A and B are shown apart, each in its own frame.
Chain A
Amino acid sequence: MAFGAHAVPPGRRASIAARKRALADMLRGVGGTRNRVRPRASSCGIVFALAFGLTACGASPEPEAAFRVALLTPSSIRDAGWNQGAYEGLLKIKQELGAGVAHQETRTPQEFEVGFRDFAARGYQLVFGHGFEFQDAAATVAAEYPDTVFITTSGSIVRPNLAPMVFELEQATYVLGFVGASISRTGQLGCLGGIEIPSVASTFLAFEAGARSARPEVSVRVSYLGSWEDVAAAREATLALISAGSDVLIHNADAAARGFFQAAGEAGEVRVFGANRNQNELAPAVTLASATLDIPSAFVEVARSVKDGRFVARPIRLGLADGVVGIAWNPPLFAQLPEAVREAAQQLEGQISSGEFEVPRAGF
């Protein structure tokens, strides 16, 4: 599968910025009650938050288009990360392929199954389950509805109408691990994960391998939150990693990562990496780079193949070469890196992209 050169379209970037502003406003509105009770301000904040939720999700009744695509996410699509990327992919499918789209936030395996089954029963041709945890439910329902294609992002189960889409984020985290070990003063790196699942562990594994390729004696500490959303716990865990000596950190904790960036911003004397999206703006003073995923483009490509009847069920692996995985450097901090490190990093990126070098990853 081939993709064109990857670039963030300016329009999307603007919409992300607008959404971030809105979110900040919302937080201010709610936070305002803590200092001084100003009912009007806070209720405005709530109404605004609701209105925001609505515009972000585009409340529209069931689409009547011929080609219909649905998305199940495991948590909120306003996480500035994994789920938001998927939702943007869904909107992009709507825009570029003229598809009718629908989304549901699902929390339990039971809901996964009901969601898949209901969309399939109502004639959706393609349903995404956004995460490895959807694969059991997808496999069950795929057997019942052979005319619908099911895609799980990550996972390993393949059926005639079910395939996993695997993002090789490891290719980017390997490079970041290499850079991180090169600049670490303490020789200790930290990783903050949301829930300990293979796809997350694997990105840390590659991060550690990249670090050792630069400095074999480096040590890597990994900490898991047990949640994708607990911002406070993420902040605590990050501060703990920093005080234990980690001075370069990466996360893969989805929405909880806000706490990761907060803590990093407070600590100051560290360098951190974002994941899944360009998160350099979240703590611009300390975020050196983000391992990015262009989920929207990947979604559109799969949807196009389903729409054109070209879909073949096999694991879809997408990495640096496809432009789906990338590394977004934070220019001022990148410029501060030693010349040699910058060059080595870019060389490594090229080698991985061309397939000359294969990044180790967990088998799952």
Chain B
Amino acid sequence: MRRAELVAPVAAILAALALSALLLLLLGANPVDALGALVKGAFGDRLALENTLVRMAPLLLIGAGISIAFRCGVWNIGGEGQLYAGALVATWVATRLLPGAEAVLLVPLVLLAGAAAGALWGGIAAGLRVGRGVSEVLSTILLNFIAVLGVAWAVHGPLQELSGAYPQSDTFPAAARLPMLPGSLRVHAGVLLAMVLPVAIWILLFRSAAGLRLRAVGLSPEASRYAGIYPLRETVRVLLISGGLAGLAGAVEVSGVTGRLFENLSPGYGFTGIAVALLARLHPLGVLPAALLFAALASGSGAMQRIAGVPAVTVQVIEAFVIFFSVGFALPRRNG
């Protein structure tokens, strides 16, 4: 990323902070205290830092996937649905298919199953695009609803806990839970995985022949065709990759954080992931700081309510400011 490209995202964040401070002032709260609580709640102590890191993981995976898709000119808005699909299948593997397996086998299988399910979910959109020319914007949005409702059905039906009391799955067996990372921070290994994968995506996108094809299609489908690339083939590939990453995020969430599946599992990670990618200017490495920012905002906003007594609505408005400015200012300029 060149230095000039850093200006817009940083400006977006500063603008959002300034406006938030103004809003807090207008409402009679002390912006320094409130924003201080935000920072404290995100990084202030071990608990806060753990919370931020754990929230960062799905944003990293989805943000990296969205970045590569958008770079290829494929507007995958379906991260949320792909996450749910991944969480659903991962839960099925962990609680129904192989609940008795060894951890060394089960954890990778659970993650792979989630990624495969997310890829499949993205693949449906790809199939509709190739077969029937349906815009992936529409199909991925609609597939979100199907996946979310699919999870609702599953936790009221086949995957509901055997005791049948609540609409949620059984808890994962210990062997299906992501192990904790060594060290003093209690964060699951998925966080590390989520930090490594954007680097892999960066290598794929900017250092490989396959990535060159993806970018070429995103920049100029016409010239790509003349060069012998099949743009639709790249569309399919990139939907599988970004869907797979979102599905993996779903698997990481159930296996690493919640330990079971239920409705409303994701607080909109699939959509925040888009804001992360845009703030990162669609750069897989830029996703690292951008995801950290949004994760910090989410975990710090709780502290803003708890410590500074800022009401939840105000916190939501501040979050909206950051998303708005990151989309408005940090969106890479599109050239014809």
A54 within 8 A of B: yes
Decide yes or no: A111 and B302 within 8 Å by CB, A50-B314, A59-B310, A61-B308 being known contacts.
yes
A195 within 8 A of B: yes
Cα distance, A102 to B305, chains bound together (Å): 8
Instruction: Flag if B28 contacts A50 (CB, 8 Å).
Output: no
Instruction: Flag if B167 contacts A195 (CB, 8 Å).
Output: yes
Query: Closest residue to B313 on the A side, CB-wise?
Result: A53
Instruction: Flag if A57 contacts B27 (CB, 8 Å).
Output: no
Cα distance, A103 to B315, chains bound together (Å): 13
Listed stretches A115-123, A304-312, A344-352; interface member: A115-123
A317 within 8 A of B: no
Instruction: Flag if A110 contacts B55 (CB, 8 Å).
Output: yes
Decide yes or no: A59 and B27 within 8 Å by CB, A121-B47, A132-B166 being known contacts.
yes
What are the residues of chain B within 8 A of A114 when measuring CB–CB? 47, 51, 299, 302
Instruction: Flag if B167 contacts A197 (CB, 8 Å).
Output: yes
Decide yes or no: A106 and B27 within 8 Å by CB, A62-B307, A197-B166 being known contacts.
no
B184 within 8 A of A: no
What are the residues of chain A within 8 A of B305 when measuring CB–CB? 102-105
Instruction: Flag if B166 contacts A54 (CB, 8 Å).
Output: no
Main SS of the interface on chain B? helix
What are the residues of chain A within 8 A of B152 when measuring CB–CB? 226
A223 within 8 A of B: no
What are the residues of chain A within 8 A of B309 when measuring CB–CB? 57-62, 102
What are the residues of chain A within 8 A of B303 when measuring CB–CB? 118
What are the residues of chain B within 8 A of A102 when measuring CB–CB? 305-307, 309
B195 within 8 A of A: no
Instruction: Flag if A56 contacts B311 (CB, 8 Å).
Output: yes
Within 8 A of B (CB), among A86-117: 102-111, 114-115, 117
> Which residue of A60, A106, A107, A110 is within 8 Å of B54 (Cβ)?
A110
Instruction: Flag if A62 contacts B302 (CB, 8 Å).
Output: no
Instruction: Flag if A59 contacts B312 (CB, 8 Å).
Output: no
Task: Give the bracket for the number of chain A residues in contact with chain B.
Answer: 35 or more
Cα distance, A362 to B314, chains bound together (Å): 39
Query: Closest residue to A362 on the B side, CB-wise?
Result: B165
What are the residues of chain B within 8 A of A57 when measuring CB–CB? 309, 311-313
Query: Closest residue to A121 on the B side, CB-wise?
Result: B47
Listed stretches B100-108, B135-143, B257-265; interface member: B257-265
Distance (Å) between the CB of B40 and the closest chain A CB? 10
What are the residues of chain B within 8 A of A132 when measuring CB–CB? 166
Cα distance, A364 to B156, chains bound together (Å): 16
Instruction: Flag if B306 contacts A104 (CB, 8 Å).
Output: yes
Cα distance, A47 to B27, chains bound together (Å): 9
Cα distance, A118 to B47, chains bound together (Å): 8
Cα distance, A132 to B152, chains bound together (Å): 18
B39 within 8 A of A: no
Instruction: Flag if A61 contacts B302 (CB, 8 Å).
Output: no
What are the residues of chain B within 8 A of A364 when measuring CB–CB? 165
Cα distance, A70 to B307, chains bound together (Å): 11
Query: Closest residue to B311 on the A side, CB-wise?
Result: A57
Within 8 A of B (CB), among A26-55: 47, 49-51, 53-54
What are the residues of chain A within 8 A of B212 when measuring CB–CB? none
Instruction: Flag if A110 contacts B313 (CB, 8 Å).
Output: no
Instruction: Flag if B165 contacts A107 (CB, 8 Å).
Output: no
A198 within 8 A of B: yes
Instruction: Flag if A107 contacts B264 (CB, 8 Å).
Output: yes
Distance (Å) between the CB of A48 and the closest chain B CB? 12
Instruction: Flag if B306 contacts A118 (CB, 8 Å).
Output: yes
Query: Closest residue to B308 on the A side, CB-wise?
Result: A61
A219 within 8 A of B: no
> Which residue of A60, A109, A115 is within 8 Å of B258 (Cβ)?
A109
B23 within 8 A of A: yes
B33 within 8 A of A: yes
Distance (Å) between the CB of A29 and the closest chain B CB? 15
B149 within 8 A of A: yes
B267 within 8 A of A: yes
Within 8 A of B (CB), among A60-81: 60-62, 70, 76-77
Query: Closest residue to A117 on the B side, CB-wise?
Result: B47
Cα distance, A117 to B41, chains bound together (Å): 12
Within 8 A of A (CB), among B1-35: 23, 26-30, 33
A147 within 8 A of B: no
Within 8 A of A (CB), among B295-336: 299, 302-303, 305-314, 317
Distance (Å) between the CB of B265 and the closest chain A CB? 8
Distance (Å) between the CB of A154 and the closest chain B CB? 11
Cα distance, A59 to B304, chains bound together (Å): 10
Decide yes or no: A50 and B165 within 8 Å by CB, A59-B27, A108-B267, A114-B302 being known contacts.
no
Distance (Å) between the CB of B50 and the closest chain A CB? 9
> Which residue of B47, B149, B166 is within 8 Å of A198 (Cβ)?
B166
Instruction: Flag if A54 contacts B311 (CB, 8 Å).
Output: yes
> Which residue of A50, A108, A111 is within 8 Å of B23 (Cβ)?
A50
Contact pattern, A 169-203, Cβ under 8 Å of B = 1, otherwise 0: 00000000000000000000000000111100000
Distance (Å) between the CB of B161 and the closest chain A CB? 12
Instruction: Flag if A226 contacts B149 (CB, 8 Å).
Output: yes
> Which residue of A51, A58, A107 is within 8 Å of B267 (Cβ)?
A107
Query: Closest residue to A198 on the B side, CB-wise?
Result: B165
What are the residues of chain A within 8 A of B266 when measuring CB–CB? 108
Within 8 A of A (CB), among B159-202: 165-167
8 closest A-B pairs (Cβ-Cβ)?
A: A57-B311, A105-B312, A53-B313, A104-B305, A60-B309, A54-B27, A59-B29, A53-B311
20 new A-B pairs (CB below 8 Å) besides A60-B309, A118-B41?
A47-B26, A49-B313, A50-B27, A50-B317, A54-B27, A54-B311, A57-B312, A59-B311, A61-B30, A62-B306, A70-B306, A102-B306, A105-B312, A107-B264, A107-B267, A110-B257, A111-B267, A115-B306, A117-B47, A132-B166
Pull 20 A–B residue pairs with CB atoms less than 8 Å apart, ordered by A. A49-B313, A50-B26, A54-B29, A62-B306, A76-B312, A76-B313, A102-B307, A102-B309, A104-B302, A104-B306, A104-B312, A108-B264, A110-B54, A114-B47, A114-B51, A118-B47, A118-B306, A226-B152, A226-B263, A364-B165
